[in-house]
Amino acid sequence: MAAQETVEHKYVYDFAEGNKDLKDLLGGKGANLAEMTNLGLPVPPGFTITTEACKAYLTTGREPDGLAAQIEAHLESLEREMGRKLGDPQDPLLVSVRSGAKFSMPGMMETVLNVGLNDRSVVGLSAQAGGNDRFAWDSYRRLIQMFGKTVCEVPGEEFEHALDDAKRAKGTQNDLDLDADDLRGLVDAYKKIFAKHTGREFPQEPREQLDLAIRAVFESWNAERAVVYRRQERIPADLGTAVNVVAMVFGNLGADSGTGVAFTRDPASGAQGIYGDYLANAQGEDVVAGIRNTVPLQELEQLDKKSYDELLDYMARLEEHYKDLCDIEFTIERGKLWMLQTRVGKRTAAAAFVIAGQLVDEGLIDLDEALHRVNGAQLAQLMFPRFQLDHEFQPVAKGIGASPGAASGKVVFTSARAVELAAEGESVILVRRETNPDDLSGMIAAKGILTSRGGKTSHAAVVARGMGKTCVSGADELDVNVPAKKFTVAGQTVNEGDVVSIDGTTGKVYLGEVPVMPSEVVQYFEGSLDPEHIDNPLVRAVHRIMTHADATRRLRVRTNADTGADAARARRFGAEGIGLCRTEHMFLGDRRELVERLILASTDEERQTALAALLPLQRDDFVEIFREMDGLPVTVRLIDPPLHEFLPPLEQLAVNVAVAQERGEDVAKEEALLAAVRRMHEENPMLGLRGVRLGLVIPGLFAMQVRAIAEAAVAVTRDGGSACPEIMVPLVGAVQELETVRAEAEKIIAEVVGDSGVEVLIGTMIEVPRAALTAGQIAEAAQFFSFGTNDLTQMGWGFSRDDVEGAFFWRYLELGIFGISPFESIDRDGVGRLVRIAADEGRAARPGLKLGVCGEHGGDPESVHFFHEVGLDYVSCSPFRVPVARLEAGRAVLTTTGSDSR
């Protein structure tokens, strides 16, 4: 032990010492430079300072012990290898100092080029470049500019202005027209700017330049833009960046030099071929800055055939080696090709699928690996229509991207108007402050839904996701005035009939019509594209990978659907049953009046009459659904929402009664209604009379539903079909609640089913924390559990599902209290723990207990992995999310067997 403690910590690695698997330590760039070095590719020599050194610096505010000496040793060996000394006045070695974290954070952190130049070595550089003074002074002014900006926080515009002044004085707009004298003058100007802002001269000591540049790269890990980027990309904040110190090679030495980027396949479409850009006589930052126009990489063949052929050879080798799309940065210095960077390239969602499919065809990867390389978020992106935003459209507001997709249409403010205009063939966007169950027909008719209030689990969001309809919720910059049929936003008024466009992925709202493209992946899932017979590489790849995901996954995937149409669509999307049929949606529209009568019934007879009228309607609903889901399980949940949702709004009723009284009209009936509504009014309806509580309070309500389910199942079975109903009791918190409902339900089922052969299961939702904690007891009375993670999150956190996302989640996300809304992705530690406890204790009490989840999390990729780990039998999600859940359920198997999930 003692001997080990004296071994110095290794903070610096030569490129020849690392490899591509050391990304944690060397960052992506450093690890890949090492890999290319070891493959024998021409990488300029250099070394990498580890992320550990960065972390130590960021924690203590100073370089860790030993780092300076290790840098010195590696610098000396680099100098030996290059036969030059850093900043030597006669023949200087120059280096670049580049950031490189484990995960690519493009442009977020710092780079300094040409370190080692000063007033003396600039002359040596010129001699090195064959007396090319212009090049030497241009390199020097670039160093002062980059160093000033990134190391010493000199405002970048000051340098830009000085450069503009120099060009103006010369009467040109092109940097290349500035000659050596002009650039020497510019160096003087830059030095003055530097001194003015820093209170010191530009450092002439090469080693000081190097140390300060390294320190600046370390610090750039915590630059605000890097912090914001990490949060957005969910990259952990404590990884730190590595620093690469690399011998400079120059692409700006004349026409036989240049720099470029290359992709081994098209990162946009995935198509095979050579893609990239080249810029002659330039350094890398000129390409990024877009100052001059690049030419397609293919043109390099004419300019420098030797380098081009060599590059193509390296590209093929890299792709073969990494077995993936690689992107490459290279420089040609006087006809000599240098490889400056490679990495597995970023790509669009479409390219991810296409490339994975191609690599399988080429025998480079197997189907497991292909499945691992795509993800549900990419698939979801491919399933939504998209805006073609090449035209310059500016959003006027940004809400919550509640249900993805892109929709344009005429603004309407009421459900009725939506239905009317849609019937005339118009595309409409239903705009409301928030929606409620009465808006359903308007939501169905509309192309998209836009609300100014509510979060991702608001009524608008949940229902829209269920329908696969675009929705932006909580766009609170909109001032919606429904009676006046208008809203105002950003100082503009939008009236009924005006056209808006909404992007349900980004939450952005545009005025006017933005063109939309349909999704061919949805056409495939819908069955209108045959993957075997069409020439669309994306559809073929999706088909192939989905087929493999289905063969791999253990979790079954069901859907949440309340209508035959939704059930049919979900089945086409691969649903293996219904995990949640919310029956309350069946009590709206013209049935509302019957429900009102039921609630207000003062005699048993009145109640029975209302129930008897509802029974056949409910039965027909279930027959339709059982038919569509023939042979597959259908979980029907007994009615759940608070009763007052079915009654007229309290305030409106009170006003009506008061006005009628004033006029001396007979208001006895309205008064009775008002009294009943008052009696039922709740301050916290989500915690009030709903779910099983309702079933225990209103005699006959659950019994009617159970009878309708059983009768429908028998009818379908007698017709030669196969109905597999599962009756689910909502909001159970104590086993006694379930036992009471169950006892009554079993009697009815036995009576209806008789010898028809129909089997009806009875189970419960686990959505109240108490149910999760007493799952062992509840399992005694339940044939299955389905986790209602929406309510479990609401009650677990004490967050009102309809209010909090719009109200303060932005602050929680900003503070990092959570990285994503717990309504969107399961909170593994808290709510997830409740799920785990209930699953374990439920199965301990009743081995083989069927377990599923039907909250919104059932279609969230991360959550699907969690449910797989916990050992649930199935997830259930909205029809549109079914393919995503299938894919992720397959990927979850691979992840738990050891692959890196990122």
Query: From the centroid of its chain, how far is CA 258?
Result: 37
In total, the chain counts a number of residues equal to: 902
- Min. distance of Cβ 519 from Mg ion in angstroms? 30
Q: Which of 270, 469, 380 is nearest to 888 (CA)?
A: 380
Q: What type of residue is 312?
A: L
Q: How far apart are CA 381 and CA 401, in angstroms?
A: 13
At closest approach, how far in Å is the CB of 638 from Mg ion? 12
Separation CA 876–CA 853 (nearest Å) = 6
Q: How far is the CB of 730 from Mg ion (least distance, A)?
A: 6
Rounded-to-integer distance, Cα 572 and Cα 568, Å:
6
- Of the pair 520, 640, the CB lying nearest Mg ion is at 640
Strands (E), 744-865: 761-766, 784-787, 850-853
Site for ligand PEP in 182-241 (CB under 6 A): none
H or E stretch covering 658: helix 650-662
Burial classification of residue 295, based on how many CB atoms lie within 10 Å of its CB (0-12 exposed, 13-18 middle, 19 or more buried): middle
**Minimum gap (Å) between residue 842 Cβ and ligand PEP:** 17
Report what 609 binds from Mg ion, ligand PEP, none; CB cut-off 5-8 Å by kind. Answer: none
Report the partner that residue 540 touches, choosing among ligand PEP, Mg ion, none (CB closer than 5 to 8 A by kind): none
789 interface partner picked from ligand PEP, Mg ion, none, CB below 5 to 8 A per type: ligand PEP
User: What would the two tokens of residue 151 be?
Assistant: 């190391």
CB closer to Mg ion, 211 vs 767: 767
Least distance to ligand PEP, CB of residue 791, Å: 3
* Comparison of 358 and 583: residue with beta carbon closer to ligand PEP: 583
Q: Report the site for ligand PEP in 55-114 (rule: CB under 6 A).
A: none
Cβ neighbours of 801 (radius 10 Å)? 23
- Write down the least CB distance from residue 831 to ligand PEP, Å: 10
Least gap, CB of 731 to Mg ion (angstroms): 7
State in angstroms the smallest separation of the CB of 854 from ligand PEP: 5
- Out of ligand PEP, Mg ion, none, what residue 126 binds, judged by CB under 5 to 8 A for its kind, is none
Q: For residue 133, what are its two tokens?
A: 């003074």
Phi/psi of residue 626, nearest 5 degrees: -60, -35
| Tokens representing residue 328 in the block | 């490459």
| Residues designated catalytic | 459, 854
Under 8 Å between Cβ of 624 and 716: no
* Residue 326: strand pairing partners: 344
Return the residues of window 836-895 that contact ligand PEP according to CB under 6 A.
854-855
Q: How far apart are CA 205 and CA 195, in angstroms?
A: 16
Rounded to whole angstroms, how far apart are CA atoms 676 and 670? 10
331 - beta bridge partners?
259, 338
790-829 residues near Mg ion, rule: CB under 5 A: 791
CB of 607 to ligand PEP, least distance (A): 25
Distances (CA, A) of 207 to 48, 199, 204, 816, 861: 16, 20, 9, 39, 49
Among 85, 582, 707, 868, binds ligand PEP (CB under 6 A): 582
- Residue with nearest beta carbon to Mg ion: 791
The strand pair at 111-115 and 95-101 is best described as antiparallel
Give one DSSP letter per residue of 459-471, joined into a string: HHHHHHHHHT-EE
Measured from the CB of residue 850, what is the shortest distance to ligand PEP in angstroms?
16
Q: Between 771 and 790, how does the x/- string for binding to Mg ion read (CB under 5 A)?
A: -----------------x--
Amino acid identity for residue 121 in this structure: S
- With respect to ligand PEP, which residue has the nearer C-beta, 476 or 767? 767
Residue 628 · residue 568 · CB < 8 Å: yes
203-220 b/e (C-beta count within 10 Å ≥ 16 → b): beebbebbbbbbbbbbbb
Tokens found for residue 460: 């608008």
Report, in Å, the least distance between residue 856 CB and ligand PEP: 7
Q: What are residue 329's phi and psi, to 5 degrees?
A: -115, 135
Site for ligand PEP in 728-787 (CB under 6 A): 767
Closer to Mg ion at the Cβ: 373 or 857? 857
Q: With CB cut-offs between 5 and 8 Å by kind, which of Mg ion, ligand PEP, none does residue 846 bind?
A: none
Contact of residue 536 among Mg ion, ligand PEP, none (CB under 5-8 Å per partner type): none
Residue with tokens 């690049």: 294
Q: Which of 427, 433, 526, 528 is nearest to 474 (CA)?
A: 433
Provide the sign of the torsion angle of the four alpha carbons 121, 127, 130, 131, taken in this order.
Answer: positive
Residue 163 or 838: the one with the smaller Cβ distance to ligand PEP is 838
Number of residues engaging ligand PEP in binding (CB under 6 A):
10
Asked if residue 448 lies in contact with residue 469, where contact means CB atoms within 8 angstroms, the answer is yes
For residue 677, with 0-12 CB atoms within 10 Å meaning exposed, 13-18 middle and 19 or more buried, which class applies?
A: buried
Task: Kindly write down the DSSP assignment for every residue of 276-297, as one continuous string.
Answer: EEEEES--HHHHHHT-S--EEG
Point out which span in 169-177, 347-355, 671-679, 788-796 binds ligand PEP (CB under 6 A): 788-796
Q: Which of 789, 821, 863, 878 binds ligand PEP (CB under 6 A)?
A: 789
Binding partner at 850 among Mg ion, ligand PEP, none, C-beta below 5 to 8 Å by kind: none
Contacts with ligand PEP in 630-689 (CB under 6 A)? 640
Task: Tell me the C-alpha distance between 8 and 662, whole Å.
Answer: 92
Question: Rounded distance, CA 798 to CA 641, Å?
Answer: 18
Beta strands in 289-379, from DSSP E residues, in sequence order: 295-296, 326-333, 336-344
Residue with tokens 């070595």: 121
Q: How far is the CB of 885 from Mg ion (least distance, A)?
A: 19
Q: Which stretch binds Mg ion (CB under 5 A): 316-324, 387-395, 530-538, 765-773?
A: 765-773
Is residue 767 part of the contact set for Mg ion (CB under 5 A)?
yes
Q: Which is nearer to ligand PEP, 416 or 687 (CB)?
A: 687
Nearer residue to ligand PEP within complex by CB, 126 or 560:
560
Is the Cβ of residue 623 or residue 732 nearer to ligand PEP in the bound state? 732
Rounded Cα–Cα distance for residues 634 and 381 (Å):
29
Question: Which residue, 29 or 459, is less far from ligand PEP as judged by CB?
Answer: 459
Binding mask 686-715 for Mg ion (x = CB under 5 A): ------------------------------
**Residues interacting with ligand PEP, by CB under 6 A?**
580, 582, 640, 767, 788-791, 854-855
**Residues interacting with Mg ion, by CB under 5 A?**
767, 788, 791
